[in-house]
Amino acid sequence: MKVAIFEQAVELGETGAGISIHANAALLLQRIGLTDSIKKIGVPIAGLLLRTSAGEPIDTSAQPSSGIQTYNVHRAKFRKLLAVAQPEGALYLGHRLSRTTETDGRVQLTFANGATVETDLVIGADGIHSVLQRAIGLKTHPSS
């Protein structure tokens, strides 16, 4: 699969705080050979307590264990690890998504810098103010 990553930041700097890499993501990182790198930059998660948006605990005791180690990592270190792992020419900085349009089974992405890309598949990781979520009809209401 040919992959292109569009990042709105102009450069990958020391921004953000820690993020948690849970079992589903850890498994995918393992599949592409990044487990040793994650171990070097991360701290293993010993336990996890999930809560609803109202703050009530979610009972996860019935969930099966995957056996995959999960980690907390610093966002900037994780982004750097992923950027280095990409093939040359797969990461495009300075591309903040402004609009997306789907026609005939293809998706056109339009970026604030004027660039456009047409593709078969889009995976959005553009946060709580997601252009992609709005494009497919999901409405998010981030708290201030």
Question: If you write DSSP's letter for every residue of 28-43 in order, what string do you get?
Answer: HHHHTT-HHHHHHHEE
pLDDT surpasses 90 at 50: no
Strand locations in 22-137, DSSP E?
42-44, 71-74, 91-92, 97-103, 106-111, 116-119
For residue 64, what are its two tokens? 């099966």
**pTM of this prediction exceeds 0.75:** no
* One-letter identity of residue 108: Q
Per-residue pLDDT band at 99 (split at 50, 70, 90): very high
Look at residue 82 in the predicted model and tell me its pLDDT: 84
Encode pLDDT of 8-47 as tens digits.
Answer: 888 877 766 788 898 888 999 999 899 999 999 999 988 7
Averaged pLDDT score across all residues of the chain = 84
- 94-110 residues labelled b (16+ CB within 10 A) or e (exposed): ebebeebeeeeeebebe
Nearest to 117 by CA among 105, 101, 138: 101
